[in-house]
Structure 1
Amino acid sequence: MFSLSFTPALAVLSTSHGLLSAVRTSIPSPPSPILFSLGPLTVRWYAFWIILGMALAIFWTSKRYQARGGNPELVGDIGVWICLLGIAGARAMAVFSYPGDYFGPGIPWWKPFAIWQGGLAIYGGIIGGFLAIVCFLRVKRQPVGVFLDALAPAMLAAQALGRLGNYFNQEVYGRATTLPWGLEISPQMAPANTAPGTLFHPTFLYEIIWNLFAMGILLLYEKLRKRSHNSEFAQQADLCPPTNQSWGRLCAWEIIGLYLFLYSLGRFFLEFVRIDYQYTVAGGVRWFQVVAGVIAVAGLAVFGAARYRKLPPVLTEVTHSAPDCSETQSTELNREKSPSEPESKTEIKMTANTEKDPEK
């Protein structure tokens, strides 16, 4: 018989008062990584937060994409491919970065495929998702930059929710600390030879805060850039639709470039605190610090190229050649006030010839 059990979830709620009272001295470890069980099916908190983040990203991106003139239904179609390739890329990057967790004596062969147990590297997800977006939009003949700009803030919100899953899996924590917000780790999940009562930096929480901060910067920058357009550009905005070049004076690729830079900047410094095993390069620099540094520079380059590029030539030509409506209206009013005035040089010449030769 199938049985539905919410015991782990209720345990979390029952300890909420204890969490609030203990937060001054430490953050307690979660009671269980399992949200609920339905017969043989077990749903973990990690999967719950990942799915919730994906749903939020798809919903918010569709709204933002529609505001830019895009088809919101396209977001749902492409969202499936982003999730599939994003998860595949994130898992592949995690397996490559932490091989000791997936291969070795006593580790089952299917461990690299057990994504429900955690272990997703965000940069692999970014790469996989980017490939899905580019391929899908190229087939549909839609601009890539506009979609990525609509996605960027939603991605940060989804990443913040996903990091909550790391808390329930007791992973992505940092060095030992005595700070009042230190994280408690259960003995079976703590590093070997850890003294009882040792607290650790909750680096997953630091990243949540940084992601929300970066999201706020993106939204604020977007708002300020939209307000900064001049009247001349606003009058010709319909000649430069958002799905082709700009939105106000906010050019495509600006927001996604800023996203890549801000997220990678925070991730680069957080890696100094994390203690999970990674490959290192010269000088003891961690593997994800190298990745974060490269992507931060690339994001800054994308942002700069989009921010300071010139307006499309067609917009400049139309702006200079467009007739002045005010002058046209003024001329028509003057003609109405002076009906006896000749309308053209041709009429003046014809009048003069008539006076000289009345027979004609």
Structure 2
Amino acid sequence: MAFTSLVGALNPIALHLGPIEVHWYGVIITTGVFIALWLSIREARRRQINPDDLYDFLLWALPVALISARIYYVVFQWSYYQHHLDQIIAIWDGGIAIYGSLIGAIIVVILFTRWRKIPTFLFLDVLAPTVIMAQGIGRWGNFMNQEAFGKITTLAHLQALHLPQFIITQMDIGGVYRTPTFLYESVWDIAGFVFLLATRHIKGLYLRGEVFFIYVAWYAFGRFFVEGMRTDSLMLGPARVSQWLSVVLFIGAWVWLIIRRRQHNVPSYLSGMTVTKK
């Protein structure tokens, strides 16, 4: 749920189209998706993947990712939604989980690549850097909604971080200043995007699938610490769901990378579709 500052908060509504309110959250998320698509298409061509496959994939992945993100959120907030069943579909009021969307999107990737006979890990490698970039952009939607924040802090602390004034003002939520955890995760995600973009074309560095699993490990590592600072975590008993999932994903990614390196005849990422082995 979004909170409104007592004074100075940015308007979460970008514009009105008659009775329809267009939220900045949706504008920002959509912008991130289209930038990710554009960059992925450029890379897909280099790896001999038909750009039309990216367009077709997106038509399936976006609705599934949105639905799975909402289902994930509702499941872990069932104590509330079991008494408010009419609000389960009220996604416009907030309440989606990035891990839920990623789970849904990966399921679509597996099914789609099998259908189109595209190496699944190669497809994931092409998408991974732009996905983490889109995640970093998307966190600014949380900023506009004044959500995904951390514990109460002070104006002096925020000023000591040398943040722009508009961020400090937006972190005045409910009359108190909050830790800008959205910003920490956004910076971490964009750093991961830059790292993957700078390294994935180094000859001989990545085997097929490794770009994707480096993305998984990178994102999970940062999300674990950011989640620990948030005050709106989805909980399973006393445990923060996203923290435990981050631990599982981080360890799983590195185990897979070690196993992958011990396998024989695994094609390199740069070989693209010229090698069909998955």
TM-score with structure 1 setting the length: 0.65
Structure 1's unaligned 5+ residue stretches are: 1-27, 188-195, 230-248, 314-360
What one-letter code is carried by the residue in structure 1 that aligns with 2:200?
A: E
Q: 1:266–1:168: structure 2 CA closer, same or farther, 3 Å change rule?
A: same
1:210 maps onto 2:188 in alignment: yes
- TM-superposed CA distance for 1:212, in Å, is 0.7
Q: Say if 2:73 and 2:234, in contact at 8 Å, map to a contact too.
A: no
- TM-superposed CA distance for 1:177, in Å, is 1.4
Instruction: Within 5 Å, give how 1:19-168 maps onto structure 2.
Output: 30-99=9-78, 102-104=81-83, 107=84, 109-168=85-144
- TM-superposed CA distance for 1:251, in Å, is 1.5
Counterpart in the other structure of 2:218: 262
Q: Say if 1:30 and 1:167, in contact at 8 Å, map to a contact too.
A: no
Q: 1:149–1:213: structure 2 CA closer, same or farther, 3 Å change rule?
A: same
Q: Say if 2:68 and 2:103, in contact at 8 Å, map to a contact too.
A: yes
- TM-superposed CA distance for 1:308, in Å, is 4.3
What one-letter code is carried by the residue in structure 1 that aligns with 2:63?
A: L
Larger Rg computed on CA atoms: 1
What one-letter code is carried by the residue in structure 1 that aligns with 2:171?
A: E
Deviations 1:190-246 (A, max 9, x none): xxxxxx4x211111111100001111222233133x2xx4xxxxxxxxxxxxxxxxx
1:274 maps onto 2:230 in alignment: yes
Partners of 1:307 and 1:157 lie apart in 2 by 27
Q: Say if 2:76 and 2:236, in contact at 8 Å, map to a contact too.
A: no
Q: 1:100–1:174: structure 2 CA closer, same or farther, 3 Å change rule?
A: farther
Q: Say if 2:207 and 2:266, in contact at 8 Å, map to a contact too.
A: no
- TM-superposed CA distance for 1:267, in Å, is 0.6
- 3-state DSSP class of the match of 1:173? coil
Matching residue within 131, 153, 172 for 2:148: 172
Q: 1:98–1:170: structure 2 CA closer, same or farther, 3 Å change rule?
A: farther
Higher RCO structure, 1 or 2 (CA under 8 Å, sep 6+)? 2
Structure 2's unaligned 5+ residue stretches are: 1-6, 268-278
Q: 1:30–1:305: structure 2 CA closer, same or farther, 3 Å change rule?
A: farther
Partners of 1:214 and 1:312 lie apart in 2 by 24
Q: Say if 1:102 and 1:112, in contact at 8 Å, map to a contact too.
A: yes
Q: Say if 2:71 and 2:100, in contact at 8 Å, map to a contact too.
A: yes
Partners of 1:199 and 1:159 lie apart in 2 by 24
Q: 1:32–1:312: structure 2 CA closer, same or farther, 3 Å change rule?
A: closer
Matching residue within 167, 171, 188 for 1:184: 171
Deviations 1:10-37 (A, max 9, x none): xxxxxxxxxxxxxxxxxx8633211111
- TM-superposed CA distance for 1:73, in Å, is 1.2
- 3-state DSSP class of the match of 1:214? helix
1:291 maps onto 2:245 in alignment: yes
Which piece of structure 1 moves more, 252-261 or 292-301? 292-301
- 3-state DSSP class of the match of 1:32? coil
Matching residue within 220, 239, 242 for 2:198: 220
- TM-superposed CA distance for 1:89, in Å, is 1.0
Identical-pair percentage:
31
Partners of 2:60 and 2:99 lie apart in 1 by 17
- Divergent runs of 4+, >6 A: none
Instruction: Within 5 Å, give how 1:211-250 maps onto structure 2.
Output: 211-224=189-202, 226=203, 229=204, 250=206
What one-letter code is carried by the residue in structure 2 that aligns with 1:218?
A: L
What one-letter code is carried by the residue in structure 1 that aligns with 2:257?
A: F
TM-score with structure 2 setting the length: 0.83
Q: Say if 2:171 and 2:180, in contact at 8 Å, map to a contact too.
A: no
What one-letter code is carried by the residue in structure 2 that aligns with 1:202?
A: P
Q: 1:101–1:165: structure 2 CA closer, same or farther, 3 Å change rule?
A: farther
Which piece of structure 1 moves more, 300-309 or 49-58? 300-309
Q: 1:186–1:177: structure 2 CA closer, same or farther, 3 Å change rule?
A: closer
Counterpart in the other structure of 2:270: none
Partners of 1:285 and 1:123 lie apart in 2 by 16
- 3-state DSSP class of the match of 1:36? strand
